[in-house]
């Protein structure tokens, strides 16, 4: 078939840009509880474990929203689901201004915030990348991972500055207004599928028919019988526990325990985000070229070593060194994990399968966020929590090598 001018320009890159912006701001909002934890503790007098439980509920809801959003996106496309998630986020953040009881904290920070950001951030990137790209898919997922990283970590110093100047309540309202603004480019520019515009995915075979992506409604019946699904879920469980669950929630409080100012600790999270921005894009590029299982083994092993060192980090210099080490693979696991899902279960089923794998990620994150707070309350520091996290990261490195994988051959001749 002849390649159209539109195909050569390829609108998918516009979709990538809009998705990256959406993921950035969604992750920015999801990072707020880690920044708000100490100011909220000071403002309300609630225990750290009680506040950590609310954060944990949010992470669980984010995980539950993964399979839900994946199923919905596979059937109705990403656009409507993304708008719905952003509307829920707006409601959660604006309502957080009036929090005065634990149940309100659990509802707004936990249930609604987790559900909204889960509908937006959990599966959107992999779903878009797998619909629009065959070649360069790893790189695109790396870009999305970098957007998530930047939102979760680079945005933290600005959020901390907002909290210190206007308080966590008004900061929540501003985050809600930001989410409201993001809805506009999503409505204007996001498209569900290249077939909607008469295009093939980037890198598709030249003679391939233009068909709108539609998932297999019975794919989960196949997936639960496959060892690969459970290995992917198990390793991503560890990813969530050791990244946004433990470090994303408790790094600033850990630094404060050792006399490091909150603003300095927030700056270290920004440094971590900057390193992960580079690391995740590099991971996407590497995923297009090398065995993703071996990449996962390296990433989890390196993460484990970083976590073993963290209990002994008690000053700004050591914290900066940890931020650089840990930041290089904070979300670098996403491109190889997504590639394994797409190549094992089919690109049209990525939303559904990755949604459940992402759910496991968030269950791990939720447990680590809560148990990290419990450990701190019981033992007075985070040493045990960090050492356990390092151990399970090493275990995930070994499990990654047991995933069966057959690489897919792609072409870029028709669309490059």
Taking residue 305's Cβ as centre, other Cβ atoms within 10 Å add up to 13
Question: Is it the case that residue 43 has pLDDT exceeding 50?
Answer: yes
Question: Is it the case that residue 88 has pLDDT exceeding 90?
Answer: yes
Residue 123 to residue 319: CA distance in whole angstroms: 31
What are the beta bridge partners of residue 159?
none
What are the beta bridge partners of residue 133?
202
CATH class label, 5-400: mainly alpha
pLDDT per position as a tens digit, 210-252: 555 555 667 788 888 889 999 999 999 999 999 878 887 788 8
Residues 6 or more apart whose Cβ sits within 8 Å of residue 310: 254, 322, 326, 382, 386, 390
Of 328, 367, 395, 391, nearest to 52 by C-alpha is: 367
pLDDT per position as a tens digit, 258-290: 888 877 887 787 788 788 878 888 888 888 888
């Amino acid at each position: 078939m002849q390649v159209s001018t539109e195909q050569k320009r390829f609108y998918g890159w516009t979709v990538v840009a809009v998705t990256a912006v959406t993921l950035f701001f969604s992750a920015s909002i999801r990072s707020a509880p880690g920044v708000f934890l100490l100011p909220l503790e000071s403002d309300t007098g609630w225990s750290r474990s009680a506040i950590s439980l609310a954060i944990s509920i949010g992470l669980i809801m984010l995980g539950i929203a993964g399979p839900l959003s994946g199923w919905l996106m596979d059937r109705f496309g990403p656009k409507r689901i993304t708008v719905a998630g952003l509307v829920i986020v707006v409601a959660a953040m604006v309502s957080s201004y009036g929090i005065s009881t634990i149940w309100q904290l659990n509802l707004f920070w936990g249930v609604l915030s987790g559900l909204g950001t889960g509908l937006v951030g959990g599966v959107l990137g992999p779903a878009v990348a797998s619909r629009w790209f065959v070649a360069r898919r790893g790189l695109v997922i790396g870009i999305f991972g970098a957007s998530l990283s930047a939102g979760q970590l680079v945005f933290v110093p600005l959020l901390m500055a907002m909290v210190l100047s206007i308080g966590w309540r008004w900061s929540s309202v501003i985050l809600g207004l930001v989410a409201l603004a993001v809805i506009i480019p999503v409505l204007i520019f996001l498209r569900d599928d290249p077939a909607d515009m008469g295009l093939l995915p980037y890198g598709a075979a030249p003679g391939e028919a233009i068909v709108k992506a539609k998932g297999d409604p019975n794919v989960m019946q196949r997936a639960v019988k496959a060892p690969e699904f459970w290995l992917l879920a198990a390793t991503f469980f560890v990813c969530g526990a050791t990244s946004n669950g433990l470090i994303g929630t408790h790094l600033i409080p850990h630094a404060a325990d050792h006399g490091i100012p909150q603003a300095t600790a927030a700056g270290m999270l920004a440094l971590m985000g900057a390193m992960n921005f580079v690391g995740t894009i590099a991971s996407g590029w590497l995923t297009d070229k090398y065995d993703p299982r071996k990449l996962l083994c390296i990433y989890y092993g390196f993460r484990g070593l970083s976590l073993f060192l963290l209990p002994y980090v008690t000053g700004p210099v050591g914290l900066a060194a940890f931020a650089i080490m840990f930041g290089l693979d904070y979300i670098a696991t996403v491109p190889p994990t997504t590639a394994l899902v797409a190549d094992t279960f089919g690109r049209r089923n990525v939303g559904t399968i990755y949604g459940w794998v992402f759910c496991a990620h968030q269950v791990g994150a939720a447990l680590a966020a809560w148990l990290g707070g419990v450990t701190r309350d019981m033992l007075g520091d985070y040493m045990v929590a960090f050492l356990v996290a390092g151990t399970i990261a090493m275990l995930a490195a070994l499990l990654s090598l047991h995933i069966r994988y057959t690489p897919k051959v792609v072409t870029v001749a028709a669309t490059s």
